[in-house]
Amino acid sequence: RDFDLNNWTEIPISKVDQASESQNIALGTYELGPITWQGNKWTNNSLPDMTRITYIEDQYDGNLGNIEACDLIINGIMDFDNGGKNSVIVHRNLTLNETIRIGDQESLVMYDDNATISGTLTKLEHSTYRYSAYDFTYWSSPIENATISNVFSGVNPERIFYFDQSRTNSTDPSSPDYYNSWVNATGSLVPGMGYAAEGISGTIGIHSLSFTGTPNNGLISANMYFWDDANPENDFNLIGNPYPSAIDIETFFDANSGVIDPAVYLWTHYTSISNGDSGDFSSSDYATYNYTGGTAVGDGPVPGQNIGSSQGFFVRAVTSGSVFFNNSMRLANANDQFFKQNDLKTSDIAIEENRIWLNMRTDQGGFNQLLIGFMEAATSGFDRGYDAVKFMGPNKIGFYSILDKKKMAIQAFGAFSMDHEITLGFDTKVSNRTFSISVGKKEGVLKDSAIYLTDHLLGVTHDLNESPYTFEQLLVGSFEDRFSLKFVRQAVLHVPDTEANMKVSVYNRDNWFAVNSTKVIETIRLYDIHGKIRKEVHPKTASFQFNETGTRKGAILFMQLVSDDQVQIQKKLVKQ
């Protein structure tokens, strides 16, 4: 008759089964009243758990293990900065009467959105390794009322920014107003917002920050701005994890799918500068994650489901409104976020899906990755949460698949079929490079599948299981349908020898090539079967000869001819 559900807490059976005999949640165990850490031990040989009010009266170090409590009152020094992933877990209220320090990978996890918190703590965070003094890290504050000048002490105040997508709809880095969205940040850090900041002026390496104050808790929202112009590339907003613990990004997606495309874009820096300033190093590389999986940057790991404390990240709005965070998204013992520090711990995916990661590289250090997946929950159309639009920014190269004329970083289909043909393209802002396309990783049925890449420009089909496909790229630009991916080999494409009333005949013998055309030829390029350019000439006449000695007799060659009015013809040849 006096039963009140509000006085009871639901406990998962698995938690009861895993409990120590010294905890109240274990079957057959019950200790009345609070529990205290004093004299380097717990009172009555008990252990704290989610049912008990817990007092810390003496120093407690994180290497002693997690602390889980109903209410937690800290009257002694607590140091959870021991290089592990242990957590302070509080189910109701938190009272901080003494110093508490939470390390970079350690966590404070709270479950009651309306909990009372008094006092302050210090949360330590480390950036990824910075190869240049001008490298940025994306941050978000885990505490209330954090002042920018205190958190970013030693950082040039003019090199700390927030991102306001409403200030421009430009997606072209060469446009004068492209960077208008990056606004100098002053005052206090707003919980839930993301910030970009350099390290301490003039330094490289890891940048360490200390956030000291009352920890954020419960419901926190962040505004999203959406341009209603059918362009998916100008709807990105920079937000961040507002808690001193990791969050489950898929739970965040589930809660906010009406406002954002369920995909997260994480800045990282795993490609060091190659060949000095002339390399293809980008200061703005984005790893991507959604329900299908994640894409990596450089030699870094593929992102996982947990987003670390204080991590800033981009999401793409599908309408104007707000996204929210709450305590149901928080994770214990999982603050090993891939994109905040240099000494990383990768997580293996327990269940293998049917997925393939493809890598594009340049000979000057450029790197981009895309993910193709076959998922029961996906279709061949655009599926929010399973397909992710490419976020180029000022990257020097971009590798993507094409879906409904959109460039995709991640594309998912339904059940795997050998009949799938997937259009692939790339953008490049660098010229005169040797590019390569290779398989980064395969899972599921794709482990044993043939993987063929067709280069439609050169009429070449290449087995990616045998080796990477390499080709020479002379021009900058966007090449959205140059390649396709197949799982069954097709014959080399037939290339017509007439186009737009242009007729060309080619004769070759003993390293000499004779060309006769009905139009003036501006440029001629000779490629081998791997796409590597063997010769380029600019005859500016309709009939001419040229010599090429670097290819053996019998080799298959592809000749691209461009007329003075930009008509293009390709021919397949066997060197005689």
- The DSSP annotation for 162-190 comes to EE-GGG-----TTSTTGGGGEEE--SBPP
DSSP 3-state of 4: coil
Q: How confident is the model at residue 359 (pLDDT cuts 50, 70, 90)?
A: very high
Cβ(196)–Cβ(393) below 8 Å: no
Averaged pLDDT, 61-67: 89
pLDDT of residue 248: 96
Q: How confident is the model at residue 340 (pLDDT cuts 50, 70, 90)?
A: low
Q: Is the pLDDT of residue 510 over 90?
A: no
How many other β-carbons are positioned within 10 Å of the β-carbon of residue 12?
9
Q: How confident is the model at residue 555 (pLDDT cuts 50, 70, 90)?
A: confident
- Mean pLDDT, the chain, as a whole number? 86
Q: How confident is the model over 127-164, as pLDDT tens digits?
A: 877 878 888 899 999 999 999 999 999 999 999 999 99
Cβ(140)–Cβ(162) below 8 Å: no
Closest CA to 434 of 363, 528, 525: 363
CA distance 294 to 303: 5
CA distance 255 to 507: 65
Lowest mean pLDDT among 98-102, 200-204, 502-506: 502-506
Q: 131: which 2 tokens?
A: 């190869």
pLDDT of residue 493: 43
Q: How confident is the model at residue 353 (pLDDT cuts 50, 70, 90)?
A: confident
Lowest mean pLDDT among 267-276, 313-322, 362-371, 443-452: 267-276
Characterize 41-65 residue by residue with b for buried, 16 or more Cβ atoms within 10 angstroms of its Cβ, and e for exposed: eebeebbbbbbbbbbbeeebebeee
Range of 291-300, 305-314, 495-504 with top mean pLDDT: 305-314
Q: What is the 3-state secondary structure (H, E, C) of 316-371?
A: EECCCEEEEECHHHEECCCCCCCCCCCCCCCCCCCCCCEEEEEEEEECCCCEEEEE
pLDDT of residue 270: 55
CA distance 340 to 172: 28
Q: How confident is the model at residue 46 (pLDDT cuts 50, 70, 90)?
A: confident
| HSE toward the beta carbon, residue 47, CA cutoff 13 A | 14
Closest CA to 504 of 576, 568, 574, 566: 568
Q: Is the pLDDT of residue 492 over 70?
A: no
Helix (H) or strand (E) holding 113, with range, is none
Q: How confident is the model at residue 169 (pLDDT cuts 50, 70, 90)?
A: very high
Averaged pLDDT, 170-187: 90
CA distance 240 to 219: 14
pLDDT of residue 299: 65
Q: Is the dihedral of CA 316, 318, 322, 323 positive or negative?
A: negative
pLDDT of residue 557: 85
Averaged pLDDT, 38-49: 87
112 versus 280: which is more confidently predicted? 112
Q: How confident is the model at residue 274 (pLDDT cuts 50, 70, 90)?
A: very low
pLDDT of residue 83: 79
CA distance 115 to 91: 8
pLDDT of residue 344: 37
390 φ/ψ angles, rounded to the nearest 5 degrees: -70, 130
Q: Is the pLDDT of residue 338 over 60?
A: no
493 versus 22: which is more confidently predicted? 22
Lowest mean pLDDT among 243-257, 416-430, 542-556: 542-556
CA distance 290 to 387: 8
Q: Is the pLDDT of residue 72 over 90?
A: yes
CA distance 306 to 241: 10
Amino acid letter for position 398 = G
pLDDT of residue 345: 36
Averaged pLDDT, 198-217: 94
pLDDT of residue 268: 73
Q: How confident is the model over 361-387, as pLDDT tens digits?
A: 999 888 899 999 999 999 999 999 999
Rg (CA), the chain: 29
Q: Which residue has the tokens 């009257």?
A: 75
Range of 411-420, 520-529, 555-564 with top mean pLDDT: 411-420
What percent of the chain has a predicted confidence (pLDDT) above 70? Answer: 87
CA distance 428 to 163: 25
pLDDT of residue 293: 94
pLDDT of residue 394: 67
pLDDT of residue 347: 40
Closest CA to 556 of 498, 495, 489, 502: 495
Q: How confident is the model at residue 304 (pLDDT cuts 50, 70, 90)?
A: confident
519 φ/ψ angles, rounded to the nearest 5 degrees: -125, 155
Amino acid letter for position 196 = A
Helix (H) or strand (E) holding 151, with range, is helix 148-151
Range of 106-120, 493-507, 555-569 with top mean pLDDT: 106-120
pLDDT of residue 223: 97
Q: 152: which 2 tokens?
A: 């970013």
User: DSSP alpha helices (H): ranges in 346-449?
Assistant: none
Q: Is the pLDDT of residue 494 over 50?
A: no
Q: Is the pLDDT of residue 343 over 50?
A: no
pLDDT of residue 497: 45
pLDDT of residue 212: 97
CA distance 302 to 241: 19
Supply the pTM of this predicted model.
0.80
Q: How confident is the model at residue 532 (pLDDT cuts 50, 70, 90)?
A: confident
Cβ(326)–Cβ(352) below 8 Å: no
pLDDT of residue 534: 86
Contacts of 258 (CB under 8 A, 6+ apart): 318, 319, 321
Cβ(490)–Cβ(461) below 8 Å: yes
149 φ/ψ angles, rounded to the nearest 5 degrees: -65, -35
Bin 227: left if φ > 0, else alpha if -120 < ψ < 50, else beta: beta
57 versus 9: which is more confidently predicted? 57
pLDDT of residue 351: 56
10 versus 188: which is more confidently predicted? 188
DSSP 3-state of 196: strand
Q: Which residue has the tokens 């700390």?
A: 160
Contacts of 396 (CB under 8 A, 6+ apart): 280, 281, 282, 366, 428, 429, 430
Closest CA to 225 of 209, 212, 237, 217: 237
pLDDT of residue 190: 98
Q: How confident is the model at residue 257 (pLDDT cuts 50, 70, 90)?
A: very high
